[in-house]
Structure 1
Amino acid sequence: MMFILLKLFFPPPFLIKAMSVICVLSLGNVGLSEVRGNHMQYSKFLNIGGRKPVGKKILASSRTGMLIAYTPPFLAGAASFGIFPDGDLRFLLVKSTLTFHFFKRVLEVLFVHRYSGGMEVESLITITLSYFISSVFFIYAQQLAQGLPEPAMDLMYPGLMLFLIGISGNFYHHRLLSKLRSNRDKEYRVPKGGLFELVICPHYLFEMLGFLGISLVAQTLYAFSYTVGSSLYLMGRSYVTRRWYLSRFKDFPKDVKALIPCVF
């Protein structure tokens, strides 16, 4: 089974293999930490599970923090067009989809999202480095694959379609979230509409689909490993989010799942 899966990827050098393992383990561990109550300190989980008194934390506004987090990986993607101007269509699509993903995030921070809390600087540094390093290795792994024999099965176009579905669904549900309150309204509400009727974090689900799409376009071990690792993190984050809504809202519908309709 593993041999068959490996035939779907470009043969990775040792560095990419090592970084792929580190990526899965580190992101998976963060997801497990979320379930255990050790949350990344931002948004509604800012003051939950922290080990330091709130007054001693260095905070940034959520909008500023997320803008700082998303800008470096976006710039890394944009810079890759100049650093690696040559390459095949697959490489161009990987650079384009990854750059567009983070460009969309920057635009959403500026014009879509409504924020009510702050962000601990320690978490901000961790998130920023994670996004930036992952983007760099996404592109670097694809550069190393240039000139190598193509994988046994070409998944580039199905991956592109999945990316478009994922990024569209993610944006749509972010828009629904933004309509729950005005800029001056700081209260949380149970989101409605779209897949919110079935799961509490459909935006996470579509983000997973988007990154799965990019990894299918790339067909590198690192891209797939990042998708697995980030999915493990989002599973943990969505599980905790559902638990938070259950504790905060007595009328929260019990049949609404965390991430995957009717399953999880």
Structure 2
Amino acid sequence: MWWPPFLYPPPASAFVAAASVVQFAAMAKAGLGELRGEHLAYSKFWQVVAGKQQKKQGGGALLTSRQGMLVAYVPALVVAAASFAVPGVVEGVRTQLLSAVLTVHFLKRVLEVLFIHQYSGSMPFNTAVSISSSYFLITTTMIYTQHLTAGLPDPPLDLLYPGVVVFAVGIAGNFYHHFLLSRLRTKGGDKAYKIPTGGLFGLVTCPHYLFEIVGFFGFAMIAQTAHAFAIASGSAAYLAGRSCATRRWYESKFEDFPASIKALVPYVL
């Protein structure tokens, strides 16, 4: 049976196979939902899309946006960092690097929530838990799948260290554009939305999502498992849909929004 030379053979695990299919399908479905205007209940899309009030999703208790994003990210950070303390889980350089970059990824997100992002509004508790569960499961299954490769020969095409470079580019680009977004809100508390500038914002509306996708494919290149590539592909599908929705939102809010600015990939999409 032919198998791509950059991947480990699939493990004999029904759980991993099911997780790969379910997690990819769930993220791709969420991306299609974004294109259809069915947005997760957070950020500006919960309030207004194309000038129309959206129905409240989730219901129940409300958190501040900052609290909600901490609920979303902290469990994944904890499980990634804790994997080093579980005997026999993080063995070998590849698994150690995967756990390390996952830890760095979610630590960066938590620090951005605390010190970089400017928030207004609220988030339903159910939405925060849903996002948190998704990140927690993604992180857990990627590390577990990598653990199952212990003792196997590396794939003929080794992408480990190129993957570290790709991850570094992704996390740096994502942070830089998040920082630019945070500068749109003035210190005086101005909550009005503005067209972002600087970096790749002159070419696409969501360069932060573009670099997030790059980071996820960095994970996949480090892991070199079909499961990690399924997660990266599903994340790309979701963020592509959200990027297109973001571009439509900017067009609806700003009559002078440049037609040349794409949603996610410069000059292409």
On whether the aligned pair clears a TM of 0.5, the verdict is yes
Aligned to 1:116: 120
| Paired-residue identity, % | 49
Aligned to 2:248: 243
Cα-to-partner distance string for 1:57-78 (whole Å, 9 max, x where unaligned): 5321111100111000000001
TM superposition score normalised by structure 2: 0.92
What SS is found at the alignment partner of 1:119? strand
**1:6 deviation in Å?**
6.6
Aligned to 2:152: 148
For 2:24, the aligned partner's letter is V
Whole-Å separation in 1 of the counterparts to 2:38 and 2:60 = 15
Cα-to-partner distance string for 1:1-20 (whole Å, 9 max, x where unaligned): x9443752343223211110
Deviating more after overlay: 143-152 vs 44-53: 44-53
What SS is found at the alignment partner of 1:197? coil
Aligned to 1:5: 4
TM superposition score normalised by structure 1: 0.94
Alignment pair present for 1:230 and 2:235:
yes
Kindly indicate whether the alpha-carbon contact (under 8 Å) linking 1:27 and 1:232 is maintained by their aligned counterparts in 2.
Answer: yes
User: Whose helix fraction is larger, Structure 1's or Structure 2's?
Assistant: 1
Match of 1:75 among 74, 78, 99: 78
For 1:134, the aligned partner's letter is I
For 1:244, the aligned partner's letter is W
Aligned to 1:46: 46
**1:170 deviation in Å?**
0.4
**1:53 deviation in Å?**
5.1
Whole-Å separation in 1 of the counterparts to 2:115 and 2:129 = 23
Kindly indicate whether the alpha-carbon contact (under 8 Å) linking 2:65 and 2:120 is maintained by their aligned counterparts in 1.
Answer: yes
For 1:255, the aligned partner's letter is S
Query: Structure 1 residues 134, 53: CA separation in 2 closer, same or farther (over 3 Å shift)?
Result: closer
**1:135 deviation in Å?**
0.5
Query: Structure 1 residues 7, 158: CA separation in 2 closer, same or farther (over 3 Å shift)?
Result: closer
Equivalent residues in 2 for 1:129-140 (5 A)? 129-140=133-144
Deviating more after overlay: 3-12 vs 149-158: 3-12
What SS is found at the alignment partner of 1:5? coil
Query: Structure 1 residues 262, 28: CA separation in 2 closer, same or farther (over 3 Å shift)?
Result: same
Deviating more after overlay: 80-89 vs 214-223: 80-89
Deviating more after overlay: 10-19 vs 198-207: 10-19
Match of 2:180 among 176, 179, 183: 176
Deviating more after overlay: 39-48 vs 9-18: 9-18
Whole-Å separation in 2 of the counterparts to 1:24 and 1:205 = 18
List gaps (5 residues or longer) in structure 1.
none
Match of 1:100 among 104, 128, 133: 104
What SS is found at the alignment partner of 2:200? helix
Query: Structure 1 residues 51, 255: CA separation in 2 closer, same or farther (over 3 Å shift)?
Result: closer
For 1:27, the aligned partner's letter is M
Kindly indicate whether the alpha-carbon contact (under 8 Å) linking 2:105 and 2:171 is maintained by their aligned counterparts in 1.
Answer: yes
What SS is found at the alignment partner of 1:247? helix
What SS is found at the alignment partner of 1:41? coil
**1:46 deviation in Å?**
1.4
Kindly indicate whether the alpha-carbon contact (under 8 Å) linking 2:65 and 2:122 is maintained by their aligned counterparts in 1.
Answer: yes
**1:182 deviation in Å?**
2.5
What SS is found at the alignment partner of 2:166? helix
